[in-house]
Each structure stands twice: as structure tokens, then as C-alpha cells.
Amino acid sequence: MKCKRCHNDLIFYLEGQLDSPRAAQVEKHLEECPSCRDFAALLRETLSVVAAERNPETSPFFYSRVKARLSPPSGTADRPQWAWWLQPAFFTLLLLLGIFSGIKIGQLPQASHHSRLTSEELVPGFNEMKAEPIETFLME
């Protein structure tokens, strides 16, 4: 028997699912091949994890936790139906208000073009400085 053939049968051999002639062939190969023997030992140990993990000890409070999941959380049971809608409605309103004010602010630059001109007119000193070079000002 070759290693490849042995690998095909190995897990079935370890689980006792091979007929006796084939199981004998695998056994013979494992005696002769140290590499397959090592892998078989490791495979056996890994599969034995299932038996060790079977039926883990459960919490003594298991039933009370199930009961707690069944009863609605405190403070929400006596809440009227309309109260469930109040919070999302409030936040939707807030969002719409935000969008509306955003649009309004976005329209401001057109209106502020005029207001900028008026502000320049209101501060004539600075505008005059811009129009008159500093040299002319000093010469005078």
C-alpha cells in the first residue's frame, strides 16, 4: 500500500469504518511508514477533541436567562404605541430642518454679493487706501 492510498482510508480506519482486509492493509502500512504513523497519531488526537468537548457543563442560571429573554425589558412594556413613533419622528423633523437650513445657507452667496459691496462702501478708509498708492499718500 502506498502513502496516498493509506491517506484515503486513514480517517475511516481510525473511526472503525473499514472492512477487516482494508483495515489490515492500513495497519501494515502504518507499521512500515513513520510519516503516515505520525500523521495517524496526530489525526487520532485531534479527532479525540470531539469526545472531550461533548456535553459541556451548562450554567445553573440557564433557565432564568431564558425567562429573562422572554419578558420584555423593564421600562418599555408600559410604553404607549405612539411613544415608539415619537423619537424617530422627532429625529426626522430635525434632519429635514437641517437639510432646509443647509439649502438656505447654500443660497446665501448670491444675496451676500450685494451685502459685500455695501460693507465696502461702509468702510471707505480701506477702499481709499486700495485706490491710492502709498507713495502718493506719503508725497502729499
Partner 1 sequence: MTEAEMIQGVASGDENAFRLLVESYRQQVVNTCFGIVHNLADAEDVAQEVFVEVFRSASGFRADARLSTWLYRIAVNRSLNWVRSRKRRNWLLPFEGIFSAAHEPAGTETPASGIESRQRAQLLHRAVDSLPDNQRTAFVLNKYEELSYQQVAEVMELSVAAVESLLHRARKNLQKKLYACYRKNGL
Binding site for partner 1 (CB under 8 A): 7-8, 10-12, 15, 38-39, 42-43, 45-47, 49-50, 52-59, 62-63, 65-66, 69-70
* 21 versus 60: smaller Cβ distance to partner 1: 60
- Least distance in angstroms from the C-beta of 66 to partner 1: 5
Cα–Cα distance for residue pair 63/70, rounded to 1 Å: 11
Q: Which of 9, 68, 64, 73 has the alpha carbon at shortest distance from 36?
A: 9
DSSP label at residue 140: -
Report the C-alpha gap between 88 and 96 in whole angstroms: 12
Measured from the CB of residue 62, what is the shortest distance to partner 1 in angstroms? 6
The 3-state secondary structure of 14-62 reads HCCCCCHHHHHHHHHHHHHCHHHHHHHHHHHHHHHHHHHHCCCCCCCCH
From the CB of 83, what's the least distance to partner 1, in Å?
24
How far is it, in rounded angstroms, from Cα 106 to Cα 109? 7
Closer to partner 1 at the Cβ: 1 or 11? 11
49 or 138: CB nearest partner 1: 49
User: What's the min distance (Å) between Cβ of 4 and partner 1?
Assistant: 11
Q: Which is nearer to partner 1, 48 or 127 (CB)?
A: 48
